[in-house]
Amino acid sequence: MKDKLTPKTITFGLVVCFLPLLMYGVDDIVDFLSRYDIYLGWPGGEYMLRIIVRACVYMLLAVGLNIVCGFTGLLDLGYVCFYLIGGYTVGILMARLGVSYWIALPLAVLHGTVWGLLRGAPTLRLTGDYFAIVTFGFAELFFRIIRNEEWLVGAPNGQLRGIPSPTLFGITFNQNWHNYYHILILLTLVVFITYRLQHSRVGRAWVAIREDEQAAESMGINVSRYKSLAFAVSAAIGALGGGFIAQFQVSISVPFFDFWESILILCMVVLGGMGSIRGAMIGAAILGSLGEVLRPGFIIPYQFGNARYLIFGIILILLMRFRPGGLSLKKA
Amino acid sequence: MAQLLEQFINGLVLGGIYALIAVGYTMVYGIIQLINFAHGEIFMFGAYLALMLITVFNIPFWIAVPASMLLCAMLGMLIDLVAYRPLRDAPRLSALITAIGISLVLQNLARMIWSARPRLFPTETLPAFLVSEVNMQTGEILNAIPLPGGGILPYRDVCILLLAVVLMIALNRLIYLTKIGKAMRACAQNRVASNLMGIKTNQVIAVTFAIGSALGAIAGIMVGLSENITPTMGYYKGVAAFAAAVLGGIGNITGAMFGGIIIGLAEVLGAGYISGGYRLAIAYIIMIAVIVIRPSGLFGKSTANRA
Amino acid sequence: MRNWLTGLLIIGLVSIFGCGQQKELKVAVAAPYTGGAAAFGEMIRRGAELKQKEINEAGGINGMKLTLLFEDDAGKGSEASLVAERIANNPQIVAVVGHFNSDCSLAGQEIYDRAGIVELSPGSTAVEVCEGSPWTFRNLYHDGFQGKFIAHYLDNVLTGIESVAVFFDNDAYGRGLRNAFVAEAEKIGLTLVASEAYERDSTNFKAQLTSIKAKNPDAIFISGLFTEASLIVKQGREAGITAQFFGADGVDSPDFLTVAGSAAEGTYLTTPFTFGAGGAEAKQMETNFKALHGVAPDTWAALTYDAVGMIKEALEKTYNADASIEENRKAIREHLASLDTPEEGYKGVTGLTYFDIKGDTVNKPAYVKIVKDGQFVAAEKQLSELK
Least confident among A255-264, B171-180, C282-291: A255-264
For chain A, percent of residues with pLDDT exceeding 70: 91
Q: With an 8 Å Cβ cutoff, is A218 touching chain B?
A: no
Q: Do C326 and C310 share a structural domain?
A: yes
pLDDT in tens, A113-143: 999 999 888 888 777 778 888 888 888 888 8
Least confident among A101-105, B135-139, C49-53: B135-139
Q: How confident is the model at residue B130 (pLDDT cuts 50, 70, 90)?
A: confident
Within a domain: C15: no
Three-state DSSP at A27 gives helix
Among residues B300, B27, B100, the alpha carbon closest in space to that of A126 is found at B300
Q: Is the pLDDT confidence value at C318 over 90?
A: no
Q: The domain containing residue C345 runs over which residues?
A: 23-141+279-353
Per-residue pLDDT at C206: 86
What CA–CA distance (Å, rounded) separates C88 from C108?
10
Q: With an 8 Å Cβ cutoff, is C69 touching chain A?
A: yes
Which residue spans within A81-235 are E strands per DSSP? 167-168, 171-172
Q: How confident is the model at residue B230 (pLDDT cuts 50, 70, 90)?
A: confident
Which stretch of DSSP H or E encloses residue A104?
helix A101-123
Residue in chain A closest to B280 (alpha carbons) equals A140
Q: How confident is the model at residue A301 (pLDDT cuts 50, 70, 90)?
A: low
Which stretch of DSSP H or E encloses residue C98?
strand C93-98
Q: Do C198 and C129 share a structural domain?
A: no
Per-residue pLDDT at B139: 66
Its ipTM equals: 0.85
DSSP state of B115: -
Which positions ≥6 away from A78 have C-beta within 8 Å?
Answer: A135, A136, A137, A138, A139, A140, A262
Q: Do C219 and C307 share a structural domain?
A: no
Per-residue pLDDT at B69: 94
pLDDT in tens, A18-64: 888 887 888 778 777 766 766 666 677 788 888 889 899 999 999 99
Q: Domain containing B158 — which CATH number?
A: 1.10.3470
Shortest alpha-carbon distance between residue B275 and chain C (Å): 7
Number of domains in chain B: 1
- B49 compared with C382, residue with greater pLDDT: B49
Per-residue pLDDT at A332: 36
For chain B, percent of residues with pLDDT exceeding 70: 95
Q: Is the pLDDT confidence value at C270 over 70?
A: yes
Q: With an 8 Å Cβ cutoff, is A332 touching chain B?
A: yes
Within a domain: B66: yes
Among the partner residues C1, C20, C69, nearest to A39 by beta-carbon distance: C20
Q: Do C126 and C197 share a structural domain?
A: no
Within a domain: C1: no
Per-residue pLDDT at B305: 41
Cβ proximity of C300 and C44 under 8 Å: yes
Which positions ≥6 away from A104 have C-beta within 8 Å?
Answer: A89, A90, A93, A94, A243
DSSP state of C196: E
Residue A138 and residue B288: Cβ atoms within 8 Å?
yes
Mean pLDDT of A233-261: 88
Q: Is the pLDDT confidence value at C16 over 60?
A: no
Q: How confident is the model at residue B260 (pLDDT cuts 50, 70, 90)?
A: very high
Q: The domain containing residue B17 runs over which residues?
A: 2-130+140-293
Mean pLDDT taken over chain B: 86
**Which of C72, C168, C195, C206 is the mutation pick for testing B, counting most B CBs within 10 A?**
C206
Per-residue pLDDT at C227: 85
Per-residue pLDDT at A172: 80
Q: With an 8 Å Cβ cutoff, is A129 touching chain B?
A: yes
**Which of B4, B55, B117, B131 is the mutation pick for testing C, counting most C CBs within 10 A?**
B117
Within a domain: C2: no
Chain B residues near residue A332 by CB distance under 8 angstroms? 89-91
Residue C198 and residue B14: Cβ atoms within 8 Å?
no
Which segments of chain B does DSSP mark as H helices, in order?
2-32, 39-55, 61-79, 92-114, 155-177, 179-189, 191-196, 201-226, 233-248, 253-273, 279-293
Within a domain: C151: yes
Q: How confident is the model at residue A239 (pLDDT cuts 50, 70, 90)?
A: very high
Within a domain: C18: no
DSSP state of C159: S
Three-state DSSP at C279 gives coil
Residue A147 and residue C85: Cβ atoms within 8 Å?
no
Three-state DSSP at A40 gives strand
Within a domain: C329: yes
Q: Do C286 and C250 share a structural domain?
A: no
Residue in chain A closest to C21 (alpha carbons) equals A39
Mean pLDDT of A213-221: 84
Cβ proximity of B207 and B76 under 8 Å: no
Per-residue pLDDT at B113: 87
Per-residue pLDDT at C207: 87
Q: Do C320 and C227 share a structural domain?
A: no
Which positions ≥6 away from C31 have C-beta within 8 Å?
Answer: C40, C41, C44, C45, C70, C71, C72, C73, C98, C99, C100, C123, C304
Chain B residues near residue A317 by CB distance under 8 angstroms? 83, 98, 101-102, 105
Residue B151 and residue C230: Cβ atoms within 8 Å?
no
DSSP state of A164: P
Q: How confident is the model at residue A193 (pLDDT cuts 50, 70, 90)?
A: very high
Shortest alpha-carbon distance between residue A251 and chain B (Å): 23
Among residues A70, A223, A91, A72, the alpha carbon closest in space to that of A164 is found at A91
Q: Do C338 and C314 share a structural domain?
A: yes
Cβ neighbourhood burial of C383 (10 Å; 0-12, 13-18, 19+)? middle
Within a domain: B205: yes
Three-state DSSP at C387 gives coil
Window B:208-227, CB contacts with C under 8 Å: 223, 227
Number of domains in chain C: 2
Q: Is the pLDDT confidence value at B189 over 50?
A: yes
Q: Do C374 and C229 share a structural domain?
A: yes
pLDDT in tens, C89-118: 877 888 999 888 888 888 888 888 888 899
Q: Which residues pair with B9 in a beta bridge?
A: none
- A293 compared with A262, residue with greater pLDDT: A262
Q: Do C315 and C333 share a structural domain?
A: yes
Per-residue pLDDT at C2: 55
Mean pLDDT taken over chain C: 84
Within a domain: B303: no
Cβ proximity of A213 and A127 under 8 Å: yes
Cβ proximity of C61 and C55 under 8 Å: yes
Cβ neighbourhood burial of C291 (10 Å; 0-12, 13-18, 19+)? exposed
Touching B (3+ Cβ pairs <8 A), the chains are A, C
Window C:139-178, CB contacts with B under 8 Å: 167, 170
Mean pLDDT of C147-163: 86
Q: Do C31 and C94 share a structural domain?
A: yes
Q: How confident is the model at residue A299 (pLDDT cuts 50, 70, 90)?
A: low
Per-residue pLDDT at B71: 95
Mean pLDDT of C164-178: 87
Shortest alpha-carbon distance between residue A69 and chain B (Å): 10
Q: Do C373 and C261 share a structural domain?
A: yes
Which positions ≥6 away from B282 have C-beta within 8 Å?
Answer: B266, B267, B269, B270, B271, B274
Q: Do C374 and C240 share a structural domain?
A: yes
Within a domain: C10: no
Per-residue pLDDT at C22: 47
Per-residue pLDDT at C386: 58
Three-state DSSP at A70 gives helix
Residue in chain A closest to B93 (alpha carbons) equals A270
Q: With an 8 Å Cβ cutoff, is C198 touching chain B?
A: yes
Per-residue pLDDT at A115: 93
Chain C residues near residue B272 by CB distance under 8 angstroms? 207-208, 210-211
Per-residue pLDDT at B72: 95
Mean pLDDT of B48-55: 93
Chain A residues near residue B271 by CB distance under 8 angstroms? none
Within a domain: C360: no
Within a domain: B135: no
Q: Domain containing C112 — which CATH number?
A: 3.40.50.2300
